[in-house]
A = this chain, B = another copy of it.
Amino acid sequence: MNPFTDQTALFTDFYELTMCQGYFLAGRAEDSAVFDYFFRANPFDGGYVVYAGLDDLLNALNGFVFSGDALAFLREQGFAEDFLDYLKDFRFNGAIASVPEGEVVFPIEPVLRVDGTIMECQLIETLLLNCLNFESLIATKAARIRRASGDRIVADFGLRRAQGPGGLLASRAAVIGGVDMTSNVLAGQQYGIPLTGTQAHSWVQSLDDELAAFRQYADAYPDNTVLLVDTVDTLKSGVPNAIIVGQELAQKGYSLKAIRLDSGDLAYLSKKARKMLDEAGFHDTKILVSNQLDEFLIRSILEQSAPVDGFGVGTELITGKKTAALDGVYKLSVYNGQPKLKLSDNPEKTTLPGKKQVCRFYDEDGTFYGDCIALSTESELAIMHHPHEKEKHCRLSGRRNEPLMQTVMENGRIVKQESNVSTIQAYCKQRLNALPEEHRRFEMPHIYKVGISDELDVLRNDMRRQLLAAFNTGE
């Protein structure tokens, strides 16, 4: 399934095409390149990112062709015929290495690496950034909401506040980060995510009284009756009417599954409603709540010992509020076999040259200790340096470690693929559990160690010196 449909090749920034025509005209179309995808800051003032979007990206790359319509449009934009001929036959035949989807990753480390011709690398840039930035943002938000919710049900209700057709990817990413189910029917169909949903206020409003509306719903869904109790007045009308319908269901051998609160003070109302349900004998009827929830409101509700069994989360989850975007970038690190580096007035923004791998090092108890970015040719990593502060380094010898990126595409063909969102979700959960608590907390999380190897440090510093020397700015 390619969520970008048949228009994938035009889903790009115009400058990718002007640059590619430039490479083409300069006879550089077959030059080789390596690009790294990485981000610079954790979203939500948090301590990590859940990486997502890989499978959608791979499927989109499989469908990456310039259609006749696309070529006709580019002709109108003034592109040259021989370049259009090149695009007509263009397929992505490069290689991609990536950390697994659902992995827990950190700023500045390469998460995905593209090897190909400069044309291949450049033409897929925007698609790649769009897909990985967005899904990783939402998966990370979902992981935070999951953390706050403990083992209670969390459902994605966000589609109506999602970003156009982007809502499809958002629902998928939400599940990767730990959400149990979604209201988004298309996401259910495309990704096999469990669906949930019962009724809106309009159902209750459409009949003359709430009790009649509840009865009609219970008639239609006796084994899955969830009643929205806040259309009129939650405690004076909604819950009492739900109890009447629950009693009628019980007489027919069914049980009232749940009630949902969607307004008012959810902590207060859930306690009162629980008491009323319990007193009527409905101990098994669950209480679900929704209404502008995020990780902080959920935590607050549960801190008040509110008897809530499940959360419906919409806007905050599906838009990745407040951060709203992951700042992932895609930078050239090798061109025709030569390592490349981009300087910046801000030393933190100077890129890391060369073809690289990331190794994760573990503590004895199996938790993550730190990640070392190294050249992909390095074998023994004994020490890692702080990326910017010369004096800081730490020893790695003796620690169990493993490379994080694996080849997922070779010669344009997918060689490793995990499309099952439940499997990816389970992997994410396992990896988050191996991340020490201090990096997971919401408030001022401890910064996870990401360093660079000796060889990479030397290469980067040498290149930087040379470039700076060329116009004599010194350091």
Interface contact B345-A202, CB-CB below 8 Å: no
Q: State whether A14 and B163 are in contact (beta carbons under 8 Å apart), knowing that A202-B19, A324-B321 are contacts in the complex.
A: no
Residues of B within 8 A of A189 (CB): 10, 69-70, 73
Contact with B along A7-33 (1 / 0, CB 8 A): 100111111111101110110100101
Q: Per a CB cutoff under 8 Å, which of B12, B200, B331, B335 touches A185? A: B12
Interface contact B133-A161, CB-CB below 8 Å: yes
Residues of B within 8 A of A206 (CB): 23, 28, 31, 33, 118, 332, 335, 340
Residues of B within 8 A of A130 (CB): 159-162, 164, 167
Q: How many copies does the complex hold?
A: 2
Residues of A202-246 whose CB lies within 8 A of B: 202-203, 205-206, 209, 216-217, 219-221, 231-234, 236-237
Interface contact B325-A35, CB-CB below 8 Å: no
Judged by a CB distance under 8 angstroms, whether A4 is at the interface is yes
Give the size category of A's interface with B.
35 or more
Q: State whether A165 and B5 are in contact (beta carbons under 8 Å apart), knowing that A159-B126, A206-B31 are contacts in the complex.
A: yes
A203 to chain B, nearest CB (A): 5
Interface contact A162-B159, CB-CB below 8 Å: no
Interface contact A220-B15, CB-CB below 8 Å: no
Contact with B along A115-133 (1 / 0, CB 8 A): 0001000100110011101
Residues of B within 8 A of A471 (CB): 232-233, 236-237
A254 to chain B, nearest CB (A): 16
Q: Per a CB cutoff under 8 Å, which of B164, B234, B321, B326 touches A3? A: B164
What residue in chain B is nearest A353 (Cβ atoms)?
B205
Cα distance A135–B22 in the bound complex, in angstroms:
34
Judged by a CB distance under 8 angstroms, whether A152 is at the interface is no
Interface contact A340-B205, CB-CB below 8 Å: yes
Interface contact B221-A22, CB-CB below 8 Å: yes
Interface contact B157-A164, CB-CB below 8 Å: no
Judged by a CB distance under 8 angstroms, whether A169 is at the interface is yes
Q: State whether A3 and B199 are in contact (beta carbons under 8 Å apart), knowing that A25-B219, A236-B471 are contacts in the complex.
A: no
Q: Per a CB cutoff under 8 Å, which of B13, B219, B322 touches A184? A: B13
Cα distance A340–B210 in the bound complex, in angstroms:
13
Closest 8 CB pairs of A and B: A166-B166, A15-B197, A14-B197, A163-B166, A163-B163, A164-B166, A164-B169, A129-B160
Given A14-B185, A319-B324, A321-B325, output 17 extra A-B contacts at Cβ < 8 Å: A3-B165, A5-B165, A7-B186, A13-B159, A15-B198, A15-B200, A26-B219, A69-B189, A130-B167, A133-B160, A164-B168, A165-B168, A202-B331, A206-B340, A209-B470, A263-B344, A263-B345
